[in-house]
Structure 1
Amino acid sequence: MTGSAFLEVNGVNKYFGSLHVLKDCSFSVTKGQTVVLIGPSGSGKSTLLRCLNLLEPPSAGSIAFEGREITGDLRNAHKLRAQIGMVFQNFELFQHLNAVENIMLAPMKVLGYSRLDAHDLAVDLLHKVHIPDRADHLPDELSGGQQQRVAIARALAMKPKLMLYDEPTSALDPEMIREVLDVMTELSADGMTSVCVTHEMGFARRAADRIIFMERGSIIENATSEVFFSGEASDRAKQFLNQILH
Structure 2
Amino acid sequence: MIGFSEAQIMAWLSPILWPFLRVLALFSAAPVFSMRALPLRAKIGLAFLVALCAQGVLVDQPVIAVQGRAALGALAQQLTVGLAIGFSVRLVFAAVELAGELVGLQMGLNFASFFDPASSAQTSAVARFLGYMAMLLFIVIDGHLLILMALVKSFEGFPVDGNFLQSLGQMRLHTLGAALFSSALWMALPMIALLLFVNLTLGIVSRVAPQMNIYAVGFPVTLTVGILGLTATLPLLEQPLLALMQQAVGRLLSSGS
Please classify the TM superposition score into its range, dividing by the shorter chain length. Answer: under 0.3
- Higher helix residue share: 2
TM-score by length of 1: 0.22
TM-score (norm: length of structure 2): 0.21
Q: Which has the higher strand share?
A: 1
